[in-house]
Amino acid sequence: MGSDRIEAVSTERAETLRRREFLGRLSIALCAFGTVIVAIPFVGFLLAPFFERQPEEWRPVGAVGSFRVGATVEVTYPDSSPLPWAGVLAQTAAWLRRESADRFVAFAVDCTHLGCPVRWLPEAELFMCPCHGGVYYKDGGVAAGPPPKPLPQYPVRVRNGQVEIRTSPIPITTS
């Protein structure tokens, strides 16, 4: 009679261990499933910018006759990817130079070092970054300071008497 009782207890314990093991594995599986369900949108959010095509548009910046040959001026145009709440920031700028009667060059206004806005000094014919002393030649090449690359250039065209710049959220280098 004693051995039957021992056998019943060990069968009960074995059953309990199997049930406990099953419930533990089920809990782990449900947690892993929940983690995957939560992670899919998060990973999609992180990877989406790599697969989205950035919008590029030709933006008119002024009539051809309003730009002097040899002069570099700042032109503003609507940002190609404004946020609904951007307000004044929905406008962006570029430096535009008329090289000849029909040739224009446009540079991004942001320094390639840390993105500070550069300014044009006509007397020196240099672009200067006020943040860390970056200096660029009039062709956009690095003259001095910490900038690692030349100023990015935008494609420019003349169409129907208007100067247009092809814009994108990140400047397109054509050189």
Same domain, 95 and 67: yes
Inside any domain, residue 91: yes
Give residue 40's Cα distance to chain centre.
22
Can you tell me the mean pLDDT for 138-167? 88
Inside any domain, residue 175: no
Same domain, 79 and 151: yes
Q: How far apart are CA 115 and CA 10, in angstroms?
A: 73
Condensed to tens digits (0 to 9), the pLDDT of residues 74-128 reads 988 877 666 666 666 677 888 999 888 888 999 988 888 888 889 999 888 899 9
pLDDT at 171 over 60: no
For residues 76 and 89, the answer to whether their CB atoms sit within 8 Å is no
Of 63, 90, 87, 96, whose CA–CA distance to 77 is shortest? 90
Residue 167's DSSP bridge partners are 57
Q: Which two tokens stand for residue 34?
A: 């929940």
Q: Which two tokens stand for residue 27?
A: 């809990």
**What's the pLDDT at 2?**
57
72 φ/ψ angles, rounded to the nearest 5 degrees:
-110, 125
> Would you place residue 169 in the very low, low, confident or very high pLDDT band (cuts 50, 70, 90)?
low
**Residue span of the structural domain in which 154 resides:** 57-167
**What's the pLDDT at 175?**
45
Can you tell me the mean pLDDT for 41-49? 83
Same domain, 69 and 106: yes
Same domain, 21 and 92: no
Of 108, 96, 100, 105, whose CA–CA distance to 72 is shortest? 96
Same domain, 104 and 32: no
Q: Which two tokens stand for residue 59?
A: 């933006």
Same domain, 31 and 98: no
Q: Name the 3-class secondary structure at 18.
A: helix
Instruction: Lowest mean pLDDT of 68-77, 128-137, 166-175, name the range.
Output: 166-175
